Structure 1
Amino acid sequence: MSANVPELRFSGFADPWEQRKLGELGVTYGGLTGKSKEDFGHGDARFVPYTNVFDNPIADSTRLGEVEIDVSQNRVLHGDTLFTVSSETPNEVGMSSVWLSDLDNLYLNSFCFGYRQDGSFDPYYLAYMLRSQSVRENIELLAQGISRFNISKGKVMEVEVPVPMMAEQRAVGALFSRLDSLIALHQRKHNQLSVLKSLLLERMFPKPGSDVPELRFSGFADPWEQRKLGEFGSVEMCKRIYKEQTSESGEVPFFKIGTFGSEPDAFISNKLYESYRDEYPYPEPGTPLISAAGSIGRTVVYQGERAYYQDSNIVWLDHDDNLDNSFLDVFYSQVDWKLEGSTIKRLYNKDILNAEVCVPSLPEQRAVGALFSRLDSLIALHQRKLEKLRALKQSLLQKMFV
């Protein structure tokens, strides 16, 4: 495939892409000058901060700083591209962001410079093209420094970038704009659900000194009881697995504390799994497993899959029928274990058994647990969608530009 044709493109476009230097298609200007710390935080003008440029291919019009109006400064106009000039690592210099809002008296922070193109680029195409893998690699090569890296306006203007026909630019720009809109949508939903969960955790459990929550389901009025987890059962763990019993690939995933809640890096045989599962303690489906080392108190609900867990580091409460698993999982998420000892903390069986929990009747436990289980499922759903969309965007940034 020609070097001037992208690996992936919209149907109807076949012409090779032209390569042009940025400096041939626009001019640069500097950020704020002659300002001290006291000049910021007040005034009728606004400026685009460094972090806004660094974080966003399309600048966020709500993330602005305050400064006094100064007619001697360069103004940022609709369609301008903003570049960072300094960073602690070479792969973070020259990050770009296109300003697509209309605002009077808008300036640029002093650690960035502006680029005003001549109309050769669709602004959305320009925003994502400058963040594509090929262009970023060319910009990173220009970074200079040792402890901190810098890049000059002149060097950036020498960078050659792909310039397809305007119709194709618009199609590419619209696609990435739509992807970013979907990413932002799922991020907002994820954040809103996370905030809702935090608020409900505060209001649906009794505060210290109280035996009733501020908010509860209708039909429940009895006070909650203060109990210790040890009154409901005992701490259990899987049979110990030795290193020589594991392999890097195999039939049944073996989760250690470092892979708990993520992808396994060790496996055991079906024969060993079935033997240990039948002869030694093993969690029932729906049981919250809890980490006793590493990120202490982190939980994963066992769903009944074929898997085995590291003894002593991953444990569970084997309890009677007076405690609901979904309610227990919610309790784990907010308990303060107050661990004592050295800098290397550990959750011992006694810490779990002596943990005080305020519990309602079993039906209310189930109602509360089901609510938070549903919230966790929705939060996880939007997180998965975010991860898929971000991966898709990264893949397209590699394949749709030359």
Structure 2
Amino acid sequence: MNKNVPEIRFQGFHDDWEQRKLGDFLKIFDRKSTIDNEYTVLSSTNSGMEYRQGRVSSNSNKGYKIIEIGDLVLSPQNLWLGNININNLSVGLVSPSYKTFKFINVNPGFIRPQLKLERMLWNYKSVSTQGASVVRRNLELDGFYKIKLLVPKHNEQNQLEKLFATIDNLITLHQRKLNLLQEQKKSLLQKMFPKKDEKIPEIRFNGFTDDWEQRKFDSLVKRVAKTSEENLPSVEYDDVISGYGKLNKNVALKGNNRKGILFQEDDILFGKLRPYLKNWLIADFKGIAIGDWWVFRSNINSQFTYTLIQTKQYETISNLSTGTKMPRSDWKIVANSEFRVPINNVEQTKVGTLFKKLDNLITLHQRKLDALQEQKKGLLQKMFV
């Protein structure tokens, strides 16, 4: 197989890719601002370009570098960790500690998808020397310029740019939808449960007017403690996506030979160890909870109770924990804490059902996002050399 062409290629392109050096496509520049607050301050991070929050350390950004859309920005100390980006936000200012470049004789959209590939990160590390700490490594610019790339002709570069720009736009779209749904859920958790000293929530389904009653938590649930070593699907902390209440794998395929708490469908698992990690799950199967779990069997609508343990009120109480290095929720505190719940079972069901639908939508968009990211990862491996 010809190693100078990618595994997957657009139709109509047959020429070998040409080996070039990164320095062939970069022109370093150092245009600095002479006016304070001339442009918005930006930061280059391992995750991408960001708008700078808060003041700069000197309270003045005179002398900061002016960058435009399409310029390359990198951190000489953290390049090997992925702090290298093409500015996609706006004309702005970046700290003088960054290296900044213009692209020449190449489509930046062809370079962009490759910047953080594993092989590129390895190259950056190989041309960086150990700094004052384990994390910091100092970039040797001459070595950076000598990093080798295989490059097609401009028409093929343009096709690759369009493809990966489309994928990135779809990823951004689903990420925004996901963020919006998560913010919506956060807002509804605050508004559909009564605030402190209030008897009814701020937002409520039509037709319900009764005050919510105050109940101790241990009257709302039965804490299940029966242990078992049955050959059932097992759930451990590592199996749950923190804050999502979803499994990250098919636990039925794991096998189990350890003892844990036996749970059944509709039981609620709450991670009492480091409760701030937000490990929780409502079961839709029978299984074994292994590790520091509380298993609740709800005496009211289980979906409502599951939503209740995600509220800020429950979070605050569950974090009144014992221990310092390995904090655990204190059952006496949680059990005796009072929460307001609807008297009407129908209202409980409606609230629980609403949040279940929200959770399902969040999961759907997360799966679409994960699928797009995996697709992009696969194409990066097969469409570049």
Normalising by structure 2, report the TM-score. 0.82
Choose the corresponding residue for 1:55, options 37, 47, 51.
47
> How far did 1:144 drift?
0.8
Work out whether 1:357 is the aligned partner of 2:339. Answer: yes
2:102, 2:267 → 1: CA distance? 59
> How far did 1:387 drift?
2.1
Is the Cα–Cα contact under 8 Å of residues 21 and 146 in structure 2 kept in the other structure? yes
Work out whether 1:310 is the aligned partner of 2:290. Answer: yes
Choose the corresponding residue for 2:350, options 349, 367, 373.
367
- SS of the residue corresponding to residue 19 of structure 1 reads strand
Write out aligned runs for 1:4-43 (5 A).
4-30=4-30, 32=32, 42-43=36-37
- SS of the residue corresponding to residue 357 of structure 1 reads strand
2:295, 2:337 → 1: CA distance? 13
Cα displacement string for residues 193-221 of structure 1 (whole angstroms, at most 9, x for unaligned residues): 11111111111111111211111011000
Q: Could you tell me which amino acid in structure 1 is paired with residue 366 of structure 2?
A: Q
The gaps in structure 1 that reach 5 residues or longer are 246-250
Task: State the Cα RMSD in Å.
Answer: 3.3
Work out whether 1:116 is the aligned partner of 2:98. Answer: no
The gaps in structure 2 that reach 5 residues or longer are 241-246
1:295, 1:100 → 2: CA distance? 38
Is the Cα–Cα contact under 8 Å of residues 298 and 305 in structure 2 kept in the other structure? no
Write out aligned runs for 1:101-250 (5 A).
103=91, 106-118=92-104, 120-146=105-131, 147=133, 148-241=136-229
Work out whether 1:82 is the aligned partner of 2:67. Answer: no
Choose the corresponding residue for 2:271, options 288, 291, 296.
291
User: Relative to 1, partners in 2 of residues 1:373 and 1:76: Cα closer, same or farther, differing over 3 Å?
Assistant: same
> How far did 1:236 drift?
0.8
2:297, 2:338 → 1: CA distance? 16
> How far did 1:340 drift?
4.3
Structure 1 stretch 179-188 or stretch 389-398: which is displaced more?
Answer: 389-398
> How far did 1:160 drift?
1.7
> How far did 1:222 drift?
0.5
- SS of the residue corresponding to residue 290 of structure 1 reads strand
- SS of the residue corresponding to residue 186 of structure 2 reads helix
Q: Could you tell me which amino acid in structure 2 is paired with residue 316 of structure 1?
A: V
Work out whether 1:91 is the aligned partner of 2:73. Answer: no
- SS of the residue corresponding to residue 110 of structure 1 reads coil
- SS of the residue corresponding to residue 268 of structure 1 reads coil
Is the Cα–Cα contact under 8 Å of residues 17 and 153 in structure 2 kept in the other structure? yes
- SS of the residue corresponding to residue 322 of structure 2 reads coil
Structure 1 stretch 384-393 or stretch 174-183: which is displaced more?
Answer: 384-393
Choose the corresponding residue for 1:255, options 224, 228, 235.
235
> How far did 1:377 drift?
1.4
Q: Could you tell me which amino acid in structure 2 is paired with residue 50 of structure 1?
A: S
Cα displacement string for residues 347-384 of structure 1 (whole angstroms, at most 9, x for unaligned residues): 46545532322111111111111111111111222222
Choose the corresponding residue for 2:322, options 338, 341, 354.
341
Work out whether 1:396 is the aligned partner of 2:379. Answer: yes
State the partner residue of 1:327.
304
> How far did 1:300 drift?
0.5
> How far did 1:258 drift?
4.6
State the partner residue of 1:45.
39
Identity of aligned residues (%): 27
1:182, 1:126 → 2: CA distance? 19
1:232, 1:399 → 2: CA distance? 54
1:283, 1:258 → 2: CA distance? 18
Q: Could you tell me which amino acid in structure 2 is paired with residue 5 of structure 1?
A: V
Determine which structure has more spread, i.e. the larger CA radius of gyration. Answer: 1
User: Relative to 1, partners in 2 of residues 1:102 and 1:239: Cα closer, same or farther, differing over 3 Å?
Assistant: closer
Cα displacement string for residues 222-245 of structure 1 (whole angstroms, at most 9, x for unaligned residues): 00000113334521134243xxx8
Cα displacement string for residues 129-160 of structure 1 (whole angstroms, at most 9, x for unaligned residues): 33333333322211112412111333222222
2:264, 2:303 → 1: CA distance? 13
Cα displacement string for residues 237-268 of structure 1 (whole angstroms, at most 9, x for unaligned residues): 34243xxx8xxxxx743223454544459523
User: Relative to 1, partners in 2 of residues 1:73 and 1:307: Cα closer, same or farther, differing over 3 Å?
Assistant: closer
Structure 1 stretch 72-81 or stretch 212-221: which is displaced more?
Answer: 72-81
Q: Could you tell me which amino acid in structure 2 is paired with residue 372 of structure 1?
A: F
Is the Cα–Cα contact under 8 Å of residues 32 and 66 in structure 2 kept in the other structure? no
Structure 1 stretch 335-344 or stretch 146-155: which is displaced more?
Answer: 335-344
How many residue pairs get matched?
364
- Deviating 4+ runs (over 6 angstroms): 64-70
User: Relative to 1, partners in 2 of residues 1:12 and 1:181: Cα closer, same or farther, differing over 3 Å?
Assistant: same
